[in-house]
Amino acid sequence: MLIMKKIITYILLIGVFASLTLYVIEKGSTIVRPNQENSSGQNIAPQENAYQAVFDFKAKMVNQLLNNSKNPLSILLFQVIIILFTSRLFGIAFRKLGQQTVIGEIIAGVFLGPSILGWLFPDLFALIFPHNSFMSLQFLSQIGLAFFMFVIGMELDLSKIKSKTHDAFIISQVGIVFPFFLGTCVSYYIFVELAPKNVSFLSFALFMGIAMSITAFPVLARIIKERGLSRTPLGVLAITCAAADDITAWCLLAAAIAIEKAGSITSSLFTIGLAVAYIVFMLFIIKPSLQKMSEKRMKAGKFDKTIISISFFIMLVSAYFTEIIGIHALFGAFIAGVVMPNNIRFKEILTDKIEDVSTILLLPIFFAFTGLRTQIGLLNEGHLWAFCGLIISVAIIGKLAGSALTARIIGRSWKDSLSIGVLLNTRGLMELIVLNIGYDLGVLGPEIFSIMILMALFTTFMTGPLLDFIDFSFNRFNRRKANQS
């Protein structure tokens, strides 16, 4: 009975005030201002024909919907919906093929770009991705990458790198130096043909060398975890090599960006000096301070929003500082992650708050934006495909063969050596980041950018099948050897 009384009271109140509001609106609609005229210069005409009024109303509503759909925010939201849906489909499909979900998402980005969708359905591509909307996608993808690099920095365990300095250091550094050298050699061969105008050979060679030598640490970590290798000597060594590899590669990338923006090595010394001072400040002042604060709060059970906001603030300030000194915001986000407290619980909580949004929502946007830049159709001549084959071959020889032979020389078995070479040859997302930075700086043109994207996809795609082939071949060899004995 009480409930019915409340319902009746609610209906009466709504009805009374709605009626009064409508009455005021109706009375207000009859107000005629002095000298008010219609568009023809005459007094307001009497009511039009009812059918014509209905038709005009429908046309007005349709035009309003069309205009609303062309707003920048509407376009961006529609693009994000398409990107997430397509990325999810491709991720599931490639997952069933035994590949990493991230590979499917990268392929989805290429599919949505001019290479496939724009080629097959140019009108649909222009509708979904109008040219003036690229900037919004780029900014959104950069924010996602900043958070992702922050998480990658947190995942790096510097103590493990220190404890594995012997084998991991040798393998990782040879795995950087050798492919870097081969990358500069290839640069010398293709510079005239593929380098953009007004780009120095130094900048072009530096970016090509880094692109050849980098390893996709996050993809490699997921492969090792899914194959149950996380606690094996092989898995620990591979992760440590990849971590040391990426730290070296990112330092080289920071130097390359500084040199490109400054114009020469001499002019870039100021920027490089600021970067070194910044890293020292973060590692020896910010990191110990954060460690003490986190330990104090964790002991007191006060892991609240304050420490989360401080962590995000440090990441944003770090990214801003590295951007304004002339390196890149992503490098600052990465270093901010590295200096986060070593407390495992702290990192788990912080990662859980960031990783889902960055990897599920924002990273597919980066893949799609990369796909929008990839124009495989530009490789319309035989010699360009020959360059593509050359670059892929050199990339595999430099990273896979170089790392595998080094591991074998320092005493690892052939199976472990080849597996390490295959794992470190995985380029994936980290390669795309390097390539996009080079493209933004104008160091890489559309043709070489597309070729390098194909190289990144090929070397990442081959990781799983090659690991399976190595396991199968050596297991078969061991069984045959055991039967013969």
**DSSP string for 384-416:** HHHHHHHHHHHHHIIIIIHHHHHHHHTT--HHH
Is the predicted pLDDT of residue 191 greater than 90, yes or no? yes
Q: Under CATH, which number does the domain 85-474 receive?
A: 1.20.1530.20
| Other residues' Cβ atoms within 10 Å of the Cβ of residue 160 | 14
- Residue 474: its pLDDT value, please? 87
Is the predicted pLDDT of residue 388 greater than 60, yes or no? yes
**Tell me: the pLDDT tens digits for 48-57?**
455 666 667 6
**Tell me: the pLDDT tens digits for 412-448?**
889 989 999 999 998 877 888 889 999 998 999 999 9
Is the predicted pLDDT of residue 391 greater than 90, yes or no? yes
pLDDT band of residue 378 (cuts 50, 70, 90) is confident
Is the predicted pLDDT of residue 189 greater than 60, yes or no? yes
- pLDDT exceeding 70 applies to what percent of the chain? 91
Closest CA to 407 of 425, 428, 391, 392: 425
More confident residue, 472 or 226: 472
- pLDDT exceeding 90 applies to what percent of the chain? 22
Residue 354 near residue 151 (C-beta atoms within 8 A) = yes
- Residue identified by tokens 């919907």 is 65
Residue 256 near residue 206 (C-beta atoms within 8 A) = yes
**Tell me: the pLDDT tens digits for 55-89?**
676 777 777 777 877 788 888 899 999 999 999 89
DSSP SS3 for 34: coil
Is the predicted pLDDT of residue 37 greater than 60, yes or no? no
Residue 458 near residue 465 (C-beta atoms within 8 A) = no
Q: pTM here?
A: 0.78
**Tell me: the pLDDT tens digits for 331-351?**
888 889 888 888 777 788 788
Tokens of 33: 């201002």
Domain borders along the chain are 85-474
Of 20-29, 35-44, 177-186, 332-341, which range is least confident?
A: 35-44
Q: What is the mean pLDDT of residues 30-34?
A: 74
What's the DSSP call for residue 90?
H
The angle subtended at Cα 365 by Cα 310 and Cα 255, nearest 5°, is: 65
Q: What is the mean pLDDT of residues 250-267?
A: 80
Averaged pLDDT of the chain: 83
- Residue 39: its pLDDT value, please? 47
Residue 220 near residue 293 (C-beta atoms within 8 A) = no
